[in-house]
Amino acid sequence: MPRDLDLLKSVFGFDDFRPGQAEIVQAVCDGQNTLAIMPTGGGKSLCFQLPALVRDGVTVVISPLIALMRDQVRGLQAAGVSAGALTSGNTQEETDAVFAALERGELKLLYMAPERLASGGTLNLLRRIGTRLIAVDEAHCVSQWGHDFRPDYLRIGELRRALDVPLAAFTATADEETRTEIVEKLFDEQPPQTFLHGFDRPNIHLAFAAKNSPRQQILSFAAARKGQSGIVYSGTRARTETLASALRDAGHAAVHYHGGMDPDDRREVERRFQQEDGLIVVATVAFGMGVDKPDIRWVAHSDLPKSIEAYYQEIGRAGRDGAPAETLTLFGADDIRFRRTQIDEGLAPPERRSADHGRLNALLGLAEAHGCRRQQLLAYFGEEAEPCGNCDLCATPPDLFDGTVDVMKALSAILRTDERFGSGHLIDILRGTVTDRVQERGHDSLPTFGVGQDHTKPMWQAIFRQMLGLDLVRPDPERHGALRITQKAHPVLRGEAQVTLRRDTLKAARRPAAKMLVSEEDAPLLSALKAKRRALAENARVPAYVVFTDKTLIEMAETRPATLDDMARIGGVGAKKLESYGAEFLQVIAGEVEHMHPARRKLAGRAAGSLFDRLQDAATELLRGEDGTGKYLTIAPGTLRKIAERKPMSIGDLGRVTGMNDAKAERFGPAFLEILSEGE
């Protein structure tokens, strides 16, 4: 796919496709119905953006959130691609500009929200503008039982049939059940060409910790990463506000975000997060799929997410640029009770509630894992992996012990109190603590009273939390959270199954310092490059990463390009961005910038660039012929560029290049052809 590779470099600034991208791009370019499941940060958007440039007509992109669409459109426009979005967030001027570009036949990508498909005029519009491809971002939203269901996604299959065009669907979050539903709803159960390119995000460090003063745990985690962009997910609106305030009091730039805020205030938070380096957003999951910022360095959860899919998607917002990123997820018994109750009190049918408990169990198993977390996470999505070396348990293996006897004691206490009490009262019984409640109910006379005096209260809390995580017990919503025993616990009670637990002191673990993005030697240059990026971004009123991502700046700081040719070889520096920003960043790095004619700059970083230089040297030497007495003849830089790109191999071919004539071909031809033949 030579044309694709040329566009990959000239438009998007990449020398090669990421793993798995090339075959997906080829399938979409060929007009095949396509379903691609790729990890967040794996480059899904390029897999429909690049084919849109190769294919005739307009590519319509169905995307779930306005912020995500606007960010992608800004990024495309910055790379020189004609793209637009029709959203409720547009000004009238923006909407008029999009329609005008469509009428002129200039637009290659048109973004719209699924809700727009309900409008009667949408189908006629898409027919009139020559829609040739539908791309669906976040395709898992079509799943009615998924965590991000959008009812209007159900209209996309009908749109595909009406337009009779190929459809390419993309998502990072789809287990086998969800993939089956996507095929059924979008492709009429006719299997598309499916690409499953893994869920591994090796650059993301995974870590969980039991709750122990969660506010302080989050503050400590943020303190080690001060100045880096991060997200803290919290379970309630009130907690987002109090935690954001605590972070500000600790000296961080932090704001809160939740669904109860005024829409203008939410948009202002989104704008600030996109454009400011080092801002922390404390949010509910309302701050979701619209986050398209590639240089988020960390994500923390102050409360347990609702499922393993939600966890995977939320941590996936970190490190989209491929640079190191870190996560921390706090969890406790109260979280587990809350999530269980949410499921039990939901309106879903019994079989779906059972599946939701299974998804929560998978997340709890990850939280209480005994070995590499990445192995366990990938196993849930059907992948095998070696220990990753980039999670907390690989760094510090847990202290395991045979907890069978302790679990049997706890289960016995639950049964002997008729499954009517929560862990607090049960721990008092096990530890032999005489409270008014214990005495009133005569529980101090139970055989289990005092059988657990060998453990502290925090240790028993950890045991009960792990029992919840192992699904040996569940809170009973009809008894206000009292613990009841599950079928899974019966073999343990009968002595037929063993239970391994983690010894948990519940002391706040000391987090290692955040990994430096570059060496200490390169850190000052990276800071200077970020300052230049921020100034340019603020002047253009765009997010900083639209100028260059962190990953691109890191490569600049490490390789220190000395010329525009060197700069053009940096990942993420395409022709448009080299033209717009190359000289200014090169000045930060090298102090001085070579003067380069625009025609030569278009060849920067390419083999044709060095050919241009040699041709120009030869043209200068032959201005008055070989003996220096001939008529003065010059060749324009634009003509030299065409010769360097086309590489004509005869005097006749050379003379047909625009800007040449017979006299010039006769004088410069032999020298030019010798240079061009050597360049082959």
The CATH number that applies at residue 578 is 1.10.150.80
pLDDT digits (tens, 9 = 90+) for 87-114: 877 888 889 999 999 999 999 999 998 9
Residue 595 phi/psi, 5° resolution?
-80, 130
Residue 505 lies in a domain: no
Global pTM value: 0.69
- Percentage of residues in the chain with pLDDT exceeding 90? 39
Distance, CA of 48 to CA of 67 (rounded, Å): 19
Collapse the DSSP code of 147 into the 3-class scheme (helix H, G, I; strand E, B; otherwise coil) and give the result. coil
Q: Considering the domain boundaries, does residue 515 fall inside one?
A: no
Check pLDDT > 90 for residue 674. Answer: no
Same domain? 98 vs 64: yes
| Domain end residue (candidates: 356, 378, 395) | 395
Residues 614, 607 contacting (CB under 8 angstroms):
no
* Helix (H/G/I), strand (E/B), else coil: 188: coil
Least confident residue range of 77-91, 115-129, 584-598:
584-598
Distance CA 162, CA 567 (A): 47
503 domain residue, yes or no:
no
Q: What's CA 254's distance to the chain center, in Å?
A: 21
Query: Smallest Cα–Cα separation from 129: which of 49, 62, 58, 60?
Result: 58
Give residues with Cβ within 8 angstroms of 488, minimum separation 6: 470, 471, 472
Q: What is the pLDDT of residue 251?
A: 95
Region of poorest pLDDT, from 220-229, 479-488, 638-647: 479-488
- Name the β-bridge partners of 131: 58
Nearest-angstrom CA–CA distance, 73 and 551: 20
Most confident residue range from 146-150, 183-187, 503-507: 183-187
Query: Is 80 exceeded by the pLDDT of residue 126?
Result: yes
Kindly tell me if the per-residue pLDDT of 624 is higher than 60: yes
Specify the CATH number for the domain of residue 268: 3.40.50.300
> Which one, of 424, 459, 468, 462, lies nearest residue 443 by Cα?
424
Position 377 in a domain: yes
Domain count for the chain: 5
How long a stretch of residues is the chain?
680
Residues 190, 211 share a domain: no
507 falls within a domain:
no
Q: Do 380 and 333 reside in the same domain of the chain? A: yes
SS3 content of the chain, % helix, strand, coil (to 5): 50, 10, 40
Examine the domain organization and report whether 391 and 410 are in the same domain.
no
Residues 382 and 428 in one domain: no
Same domain, 581 and 614: no
Please report the pLDDT score of residue 381 as a whole number.
80
Are residues 444 and 581 both part of a single domain? no
When the pLDDT of each residue in the chain is averaged and rounded to a whole number, the result is 86
Q: What's the pLDDT tens digit per position in 177-224?
A: 788 889 999 998 678 999 987 788 899 999 999 898 899 999 999 999
**Adjacent-strand bridge partners of 61:** 111, 135
Q: What is the pLDDT of residue 505?
A: 44
- Which CATH number fits the domain that encloses residue 411? 1.10.10.10
Cα→Cα distances 247→216, 220, 222, 234, 475, Å: 10, 10, 8, 14, 33
527/242: higher pLDDT = 242
Does a structural domain hold residue 246? yes
Residues 109, 180: one domain? Answer: yes
- Domain end point (choices 566, 595, 624): 595
Highest mean pLDDT out of 113-117, 404-408, 423-427, 606-610: 404-408
Whether 306 and 451 map to the same domain: the answer is: no
Domain-ending residue, one of 595, 626, 649: 595
Token pair 């990276």 is found at 526
Mean pLDDT of all residues in 444-464:
92
Q: By residue range, what is the domain housing residue 292?
A: 204-395
Q: Does 179 fall in a domain?
A: yes
pLDDT band at 510 (very low <50, low <70, confident <90, very high): very low
Q: How confident is the model at residue 366, as a pLDDT?
A: 92
d(CA 197, CA 336) in angstroms, rounded, equals: 32
Please give the C-alpha separations between residue 407 and each of 417, 461, 482, 580, in angstroms, as whole numbers.
16, 12, 17, 65
At 560-607, the pLDDT tens digits run 888 888 898 898 998 889 988 988 998 888 776 667 788 887 888 777
**pLDDT tens track for 33-69:** 999 988 776 688 999 999 999 999 999 999 887 777 8
Tokens of 284: 């509910």
Lowest mean pLDDT among 301-315, 372-386, 473-487, 610-624: 473-487
427 found inside a domain = yes
Same domain? For 49 and 177 the reply is yes
**Residues 208 and 192 grouped into a single domain:** no
What is the average pLDDT across 295-305?
94
pLDDT on residue 508: 38
With CA atoms as reference, report the closest residue to 335 among 504, 483, 465.
465
Clarify whether residues 6 and 144 are in a common domain. Answer: yes
Measure the CA–CA gap between 95 and 88, rounded to whole angstroms. Answer: 9
